[in-house]
Structure 1
Amino acid sequence: MTGTLENLWESRALDGYPVGLPNGELVLANKEGSVFLDGGLKLENVLYVPKLNCNLISVSQLTDEAKCTVHFTDRFCAMQDHTSRTLIGAGERKDGHYWYRGVSGMKAYQINAEDQLEIWHKRMGHPAYQIVEKIPNVSNAHRNKNTNQTC
């Protein structure tokens, strides 16, 4: 449910679906649509409730539509894709509620062997390159002849 009409995509009118607010007032949801959450998650049939001052996610709807598992702890919740087991969403507990935070995209970098030698040289505290070249899987890296011998 959302109280912000701008959150809905492809909204359509409803005849009026009764929703009870925390203060005991009964209001009618008069629209529904799709919502895109950070991290690429899409929820369908999200109700627009005009007097609602927050956004609420149904965990059962989330697990059904996003095909994910939701894990809760005393401080956090995590949404994990069933198939890939990757983290697709997270939440942090504040004032007794879990607040959704998207997961920023992960990036992978590939380095060539020459860069790998330089990285290990720095990680080990700048020893002589002959020492670093003795590390397995780094020994096949060749030092750039233009590299300054002193750091």
Structure 2
Amino acid sequence: MTFDPDDFLNTTQPRRTCIANANGVTYPVTGAGTVELSSSLSLSNTLLVPSLSNKLLSVSQLTEQLNCCVLIYPSFCLLQDIHTKEILGRGTKRGELYYVDDFSLGVANNVTHPFNSKQQQIWLWHRQLGHPSFSYMKHLIPDLFSGFKDSDFTCDTCILAKSHRVPYSLSTNKCTTPFTLIHSDVWGPSPITAPSGVRWFVTFIDDCTRMTWLYLLKNKNEVFSRFQSFHK
């Protein structure tokens, strides 16, 4: 949406007569048309709302018409083409709003940015490279880590995504007599069948001695009979 009719390359009939903001106040729509974002990018069906104080971009309209995705970061945002991965535009955060004021492809694709500190640059590279370990990044770009240790950075996303399970708490309970407690587990089916037809196995582990018995199985339904043999 825009408040300036000079922004339009051509005008069309607006699809609505008014718009409503977050607090319910409505503003009249007096026109519509196509707005040129750059020499190669334009948005059709842009509304003319004279009472607006800022020009507003609809995220859904951007992603649909430009076939792009919008990447939101703490201090800036990027518009990226879905197929070519080319950066179409870049905006900066000022106050509580993101101002997308750079649709120059040569500049928008430049990864350099006026960051406040090296730490923000390290975090940006960490996200763009797919969350590698900071020790690896320190070897990859040592100049950026001058004055920092890899232990200075902790990524919650890495911790959650790379943790396969919650660690088991250490147990101080241990049987003092053999065969008081037996641990058992069944594994299979194996993707490769042994020449003898075996695809499964079951283990019985004595908690006291850690002695392990292993039985090979052709079918999972043999577990009970193997347990009976072990019990005897």
TM over 0.5: yes
Counterpart Cα distance in 2 of 1:72 and 1:15: 29
1:104 aligns with 2:104: yes
Give the AA of the match of 1:68. Answer: C
Partner SS for 2:106: coil
**How much does 1:103 deviate?**
3.9
The question of whether the paired residues in 2 share the 8 Å contact of 1:34 and 1:44 is answered with yes
Residue 5 (structure 1) shift: 0.7
Aligned residues: 107
Residue 52 of structure 2: aligned partner: 52
Q: Deviations over 1:117-150 (max 9, x none)?
A: xxxxxxxxxxxxxxxxxxxxxxxxxxxxxxxxxx
Q: Which is helix-richer, 1 or 2?
A: 2
Matches within 5 A, 1:73-84: 73-84=73-84
1:38 aligns with 2:25: no
- The CA distance in 2 between the partners of 1:27 and 1:104, in whole Å, is 32
8 A contact 1:39–1:88 mirrored in 2: no
Superposed CA deviations along residues 69-95 of structure 1, whole A, max 9, x for unmatched, are 110011110011112111110110111
Q: Name the residue aligned to 2:196.
A: none
Residue 102 of structure 2 aligns with an amino acid whose one-letter code is G
Structure number with larger C-alpha Rg: 2
User: Helix, strand or coil for the counterpart of 1:63?
Assistant: helix
Distance 2:15 2:58 in 1: 21
Partner of 1:95: 95
Task: Please list every run of 5 or more consecutive structure 2 residues that lacks an aligned counterpart in the other structure.
Answer: 108-232
Q: Which has the higher strand share?
A: 1
Q: CA deviation at 1:106?
A: 3.0
Q: Quickly say closer, same or farther: Cα 1:14–1:64, change in 2 above 3 A.
A: closer
- The two structures have a TM-score, normalised by structure 1, of 0.63
Q: Which amino acid aligns with 2:45?
A: N
- The residue that corresponds to 2:10 in the other structure is 10
Partner Cα separation in structure 2 for residue 15 and residue 96 of structure 1: 29
Structure 1 partner of 2:68: 68
Unaligned runs of 5+ in 1: 108-151
Identify the residue that residue 113 of structure 1 maps to in structure 2. Answer: none
> Using the alignment, how far apart are the partners of 2:76 and 2:15 within structure 1?
37
For 1:27 and 1:4, the matched residues in 2 are separated by 15
> Helix, strand or coil: the match of 2:17?
strand
Q: Determine which structure has greater relative contact order: mean sequence separation of CA pairs < 8 Å that are 6+ residues apart, divided by chain length.
A: 1
Between the aligned partners of 2:19 and 2:40, the Cα distance in structure 1 is 27
Q: What is the match of residue 138 of structure 1?
A: none
Residue type of the alignment partner of 2:37: L
- Contact 1:39–1:105, Cα closer than 8 Å, also in 2: no
Identity %: 29
Which residue matches 1:28?
28
Q: Alpha carbons of 1:53 and 1:39: their partners in 2 closer, same or farther (altered >3 Å)?
A: same
